[in-house]
Amino acid sequence: MQRPWQLYPSDPAPLDFIEEVKRLHSDAGAITAQLLWQRGYRDLQQVLPFLDWRYYESASPNEFPDMRVALERLQQAFDQQEKVAIWGDFDTDGVTATAVLWEGLKPVLGAQLVDFYIPNRQYDSHGLSRHGLEALQQKGVSLIITCDTGCTNAAEIAFARTLGIDVIVTDHHTLEQTSLGAVALINPRRLPCEHPLHHLSGVGLAYKFLEAVYAQWPEKTQGYALENLLDLVAIGLIADLVELRGECRYLAQRGLEQLGNRQTLRPGIVALLDSAARTMAQQREISFVLAPRLNAVSRVEGDVRPLITLLTTQDWSEARQLAQHIKKVNEERQRRQKEVAKIAHGKVAQLDLSTSRVILLTDDSWPLSLLGLVANEMVKTYGRPAILLQTNPETGMAAGSARSDGSVNLYEALHSQRHLLEGLGGHPYAVGFRLKMEHIPLLEPALNQFLAQQEGTASATSQPLGIDLEVTLDQLNERLLKELEVLAPFDATHHPPPRLLVRNVELTQLTNNSLRGSKTSRTYVSMMLKDPQGQHTFPAKWWDHEVGDCPKGRCDLVIELEQWQGFLSAVIKELRPSATNVIQAASFQFLMDYRDRPHEASAKGLRVETCPTSRESWRQWIQRAKREQQPLILAYSPPPEQDALKVWQEFLRLCQQASQQGTGLQREGLREHLGIEAVTLNYALNVLETLGVKVIQRGEEFCCEWPPQVKPSADTAVALEIFTAAIAEENFRRRYFAAATLPALQETH
């Protein structure tokens, strides 16, 4: 079943806005301004830092919970001359994060930084392992700093403590509800979703950690510019497909500028890009050349230690030798992936996709390391989440990868079936997990039921292909490309590359081609597009297709513009015969109000299920809805008024109980139990401290040491008043967002 095409409704940008955008950037034009307007960037104070990182105010790394605790532990390592190691991960984000910490911590730690450890993908899964911890203990390591991994390894961290090893976790993956037990947990998901640091990947988080370290010990870091690492940061951010907004966009912009403007890059990056890239790495080169080659090493060989050498070496000869080997490894990865994909497509052909919201495929022979790549291919081809599992009849276990196009929170869906799984990790769009083979028949219907409840419909439908603008062939030129590139860098969900609609064109000079320089030869059709009058033509290519796939007669095309190795062309995303093609106008009902009956909110869109408590959080919802052209579904009930005294008494009771039992309290769990914001919880902790109670922060939890006698101090009344005022402010905000009219809410942002 073909997915529908939807052309976003025209909402013309005002002329004064267009003129202001043109003044902000020399390459910006009316189309640049129109796309900004359509995607919700309508405030020029937002547009300026969006276009130019020099106007962005970078967030402080000290805003991460536990950053202070991590720095204190690092100071202890300095004082006691402890040996320190880095624990990374084997994908591009994890490898670049490891390289960033390895190169960035050397000026600070010197000989105390003794090693880095990255699991071998052929034998290990992501995260900490007992045998790896034991290997580092043998080297005398007593402090490990993780990057891009660790936040689901409570058991391994507990084991590390028995070996005399403390662990500082820096990781961006989804948090578990249980206590981790690390010295510090630095995870952007502990921050509110609207926080500029919330979407950082592992390498971005590693860089922000170094920012805090360099600010803390400037005397140790003289002679090394932290900005030298931004090229690696950009590569990891783009490869990990994170939302490039806030700090992510800022860091990616800086790193891409560094990659593009320097006379020479890191020798390893130059060698990987080939001479054809002219030593300039932009987003497309990272996505289609660097990241696949870096990822291939773990998928085929397992051991990625040579990649850290490649990314950090200054020896050109060593870099060229390593790069040549990695290119050959990537060619082998492509060959194996093609074999798995062929089998997977054959299995899908036997399914009835009209009755399923998710594709779940299994095979005994599939290599686990390639399943994420093929699952992603399934998502793009069939327009729904895909799960591929490697089954092992001897052990009765299955393991694999799940991928989503962003329309479904796949981590949430799988987590809802946690009772069927043996292990789970990842984020909303990419998940890895294990389960017993006997549970596979139970998993698929359970996921379909969960997704049906989320979607509120009875039948499976593919996500529409959103189209940003309609253009004619004569508009496809270098000038348009420059206008579009003003908006770069792009990401897959929050800010995708603009999709353009070209109607009623003839496909001429059709030729089958293979991508040169690859043993696996990826195919594509090259062609010339001709308008109905025959006055204008434009080159195009259609990847992974052959001439026989091209329909006769005039066609409608959805394209993206690209310039690859000096040549401008259209990349066809989809094409259909004009005579039979139907293009919908994307209806955009801005707000859908179910506040008085949230249980009836079955429409598709962005569900707001918790009553907002600030204008900032509401503004973020509004902007996201406009960018993604989805309605906001107000599916929250009017919340009850909070009684400040009762909240305080319950908070005090829980803290006293935990103190008596010698246990800690989870900040996030406590906040949700009390129904208050994070800042209000901090005010409550401040009141405790004025009473003489010692509050000890331990990673994502805290514990309290009660004095023999609690006595109010001179500061208690003021602290309690601040806490009470915060509760009153939350009540006021909830009342407003629970009762405000839709026009008022539309104006609130």
Give pLDDT, residue 399.
Answer: 92
Q: pLDDT tens for residues 304-350?
A: 999 999 999 999 999 999 999 999 999 999 999 999 999 999 999 99
> Could you tell me the residue range of the domain that residue 443 belongs to?
351-455
- Residue 573, domain member (yes or no): yes
Instruction: Report how far residue 558's alpha carbon sits from residue 22's, in angstroms, rounded to the nearest whole number.
Output: 27
Both 427 and 472 in a single domain? no
Residue 32 included in any domain: no
- Residues 360 and 272 grouped into a single domain: no
Q: Please check whether residue 649 lies inside any domain of the structure.
A: yes
Report residue 747's pLDDT band, with 50, 70 and 90 as the boundaries: low
The whole-angstrom separation of Cα 418 and Cα 601 is 26
> By the 8 A CB rule, do 375 and 414 touch?
no
Q: Does residue 278 register a pLDDT over 50? A: no
Is the pLDDT score of 520 beyond 80?
A: no
Predicted confidence (pLDDT) per residue in 131-148, tens digit: 999 999 999 999 999 999
What pLDDT is attached to residue 457?
A: 38
pLDDT for 653-668, tens place per residue? 999 998 888 888 988 8
Is-contact 295 92, C-beta < 8 A?
Answer: yes
Residues 361-385 pLDDT 10s: 999 999 999 999 999 989 888 888 9
Q: Nearest to residue 473, comparing CAs of 582, 585, 583, 555? A: 555
Domains identified in the chain, total number? 5
Question: Do 650 and 630 have their domain in common?
Answer: no
Given this model, what pLDDT does residue 277 score? 46
Does residue 179 lie within any of the structural domains? yes
How high does pLDDT run on average in the chain? 87
Same domain, yes or no: 159 and 249: yes
Alpha-carbon distance of 521 to 287, in angstroms, equals: 18
3-state secondary structure of 290: helix
Last residue of a domain, one of 309, 326, 343: 326
pLDDT of residue 537 exceeding 70, the answer is: yes
Together in a domain, 579 and 593 = no
Is pLDDT above 60 for 639?
Answer: yes
- Region 430-448: mean pLDDT is 91
Average pLDDT over residues 683-693: 92
Looking at residue 631, its pLDDT comes to: 77
Residue 113 domain flag = yes
**Rounded CA separation 113/327 (Å):** 31
Task: Give the domain-ending residue among 560, 584, 608.
Answer: 584
* 675 or 435, higher pLDDT: 435
Q: Which residue has the higher pLDDT, 614 or 341?
A: 341
Q: Assess whether pLDDT exceeds 50 at residue 737.
A: yes
Distances (CA, A) of 596 to 30, 637, 639, 731: 42, 6, 11, 18
438 shares a domain with 541: no
495 and 567 both lie in a single domain: yes
**179 in the same domain as 280:** yes
**DSSP codes joined into one string, 642-697:** P-HHHHHHHHHHHHHHHHHHT--EEHHHHHHHHT--HHHHHHHHHHHHHTTPEEEE
Q: Answer with the one of 392, 426, 455 that is the final residue of a domain.
A: 455
**CATH number (domain holding residue 523):** 2.40.50.140
- Does residue 336 fall inside a structural domain? no
Residue 653: count of CB within 10 angstroms of its CB: 10
Checking if the pLDDT of 523 tops 60, the result is yes
440 & 356 share domain: yes
Residue 12 has what pLDDT?
84
> Does residue 356 belong to any structural domain of this protein?
yes
Tell whether 748 is covered by a domain: no
Q: Report the candidate in 418, 415, 425 with the shortest Cα–Cα distance to residue 454.
A: 415
Co-location of 299 and 211 in the same domain: yes
Same domain? 218 vs 88: yes
More confident residue, 651 or 9: 651
Q: Which residues contact 46 (CB under 8 A, 6 or more apart)?
A: none
CATH code of 262's domain: 3.90.1640.30
pLDDT at 597: 67
Kindly provide the b/e burial profile for residues 130-166, where b requires at least 16 CB atoms within 10 angstroms of the residue's own CB: eebbeebbeeebbbbbbbbbbbbbbebbebbeeeebb
Residue 216 has pLDDT above 60, yes or no: yes
Compare 393 and 454 and report the one with higher pLDDT: 393
Task: Copy the structure tokens of residue 495.
Answer: 């800010």
* CATH number of the domain bearing residue 356: 3.10.310.30
**Per-residue pLDDT tens for 377-416?**
898 888 889 999 999 999 999 999 999 876 677 888 888 8
720 and 680 in a common domain: yes
Whether residue 497 is preceded by a cis peptide bond, meaning omega within 30 degrees of 0, is no
Find out whether 469 and 34 touch, Cβ atoms under 8 Å. yes
**pTM attached to this predicted model:** 0.76
